[in-house]
Amino acid sequence: MNIRKLIEQALDEDIGPGDITSEATIRPESASIAVIIAKQDLVLAGLDVCCSVFHYLDPGIQISVFAQDGDKIIAGMEIAKLSGSTRSLLAGERVALNLLQHLSGIATLTTKYVDKCRGFKARVLDTRKTIPGMRILEKYAVHVGGGKNHRFGLFDGVLIKDNHIKAAGGIAKAVESARKSAHHLLKIEVETKTLDEVREALAVKADVIMLDNMPIDVTREAVKIIDGCTLVEVSGNVTLDTIRQIAETGVDFISSGSLTHSAPAADISMKIK
């Protein structure tokens, strides 16, 4: 994805033909200093993108940053200071903060999930449940928060889900077809919903077996059946309340769409000094 194009589109959407409020109240020659402040504890992500919004809008804006992506920020901390045209600062404020708040929210939530898995081998993964056009940034924020990225799209990983299985005529047929057509370096992952499907996926030597929406006791049984013969991923109904219990079963991966589609925006503001 072209980040510059995303910024251009976002600014065009917000500003349109002009910021009529600032143009009506602020003199063209007015200059100001502004600070970006965290109003909650958070894990920072997207600061470079935030700064790029202002530089795209007005290359004359000067920016000093006091943190970097991945830093744990305390409420009240100044993240960056900006100086330049008052009109430009106000015109870029909302788009810049929207991106910074959203990405920092994802990184902050991801860190909470990762912390819940401390002491176990399970790695926290994202999914393709992202805002259209924002996937690369959202997956970047997951990485910043300590998570790992699942496949980026349909083109870089074989994941045989329930609809593929039904359309292909079963797990064995779907895996056989995938092995014939997929690149030899690609792993083949199979989604399973029952222990019988787990056994079938194991029999055809799937590289990764996904346990989808299985109760915790069934997950434990599935891990015993697989017995280290292949990698195991859990997906579905993963929350902060359940993820540690899932990790305790000995699975290798825990994926959650909520990292990207349900992360609350971090509380960050910009103030003219």
pLDDT beyond 80 at 47: yes
Residue pair 211/195 in contact by the 8 Å Cβ criterion:
no
* 68 and 144 assigned to the same domain: no
* 190 and 85 assigned to the same domain: no
Number of domains observed in the structure of the chain: 2
* 121 and 93 assigned to the same domain: no
* 234 and 118 assigned to the same domain: yes
Q: With bands split at pLDDT 50, 70 and 90, how would you rate the model's confidence at 257?
A: very high
Among residues 69, 93, 126, 212, the one annotated as catalytic is: 212
* 104 and 139 assigned to the same domain: no
The CATH number of residue 43's host domain is 3.90.1170.20
* 47 and 134 assigned to the same domain: no
Q: What average pLDDT does range 141-161 have in this prediction?
A: 97
* 56 and 134 assigned to the same domain: no
Among residues 94, 112, 148, 244, the one annotated as catalytic is: 94
Q: What average pLDDT does range 65-88 have in this prediction?
A: 98
* 100 and 155 assigned to the same domain: no
What pTM did the predictor assign? 0.96
* Range(s) of the domain holding residue 21: 3-110+264-272
The CATH number of residue 248's host domain is 3.20.20.70
Among residues 123, 128, 129, 199, the one annotated as catalytic is: 129
Summary count for the chain: helices (H), strands (E):
11, 12
Among residues 5, 39, 121, 161, the one annotated as catalytic is: 161
Q: What average pLDDT does range 29-35 have in this prediction?
A: 98
* 197 and 211 assigned to the same domain: yes
Could you give the CA distance from residue 89 to residue 29 in angstroms, rounded to a whole number?
13
Q: How far apart are the first and last CA of the chain?
A: 35
- Average pLDDT, rounded, for the chain: 97
Among residues 69, 93, 138, 191, the one annotated as catalytic is: 191
* 257 and 268 assigned to the same domain: no
Based on the residue annotation, tell me whether 212 is a catalytic residue of this protein: yes
Based on the residue annotation, tell me whether 129 is a catalytic residue of this protein: yes
pLDDT beyond 80 at 197: yes
Q: Which residue from 126, 102, 103, 104 is spatially nearest to 114, judged by alpha carbons?
A: 126
* 139 and 249 assigned to the same domain: yes
Based on the residue annotation, tell me whether 161 is a catalytic residue of this protein: yes
* 53 and 118 assigned to the same domain: no
Could you give the CA distance from residue 228 to residue 222 in angstroms, rounded to a whole number?
11
What are the Cα distances from residue 231, in Å, to 19, 73, 211, 222?
A: 53, 35, 11, 12
Q: Which helix H or strand E contains 197, and what residues bound it?
A: helix 195-203
Q: What is the pLDDT of residues 50-75, one digit of tens each?
A: 999 999 999 999 999 999 999 999 99
What pLDDT score was predicted for residue 1? 60
Q: What is the pLDDT of residues 208-222, one digit of tens each?
A: 999 999 999 999 999
CB proximity list for 37: less than 8 A, separation 6 or greater: 76, 77, 78, 79, 268, 269, 270, 271
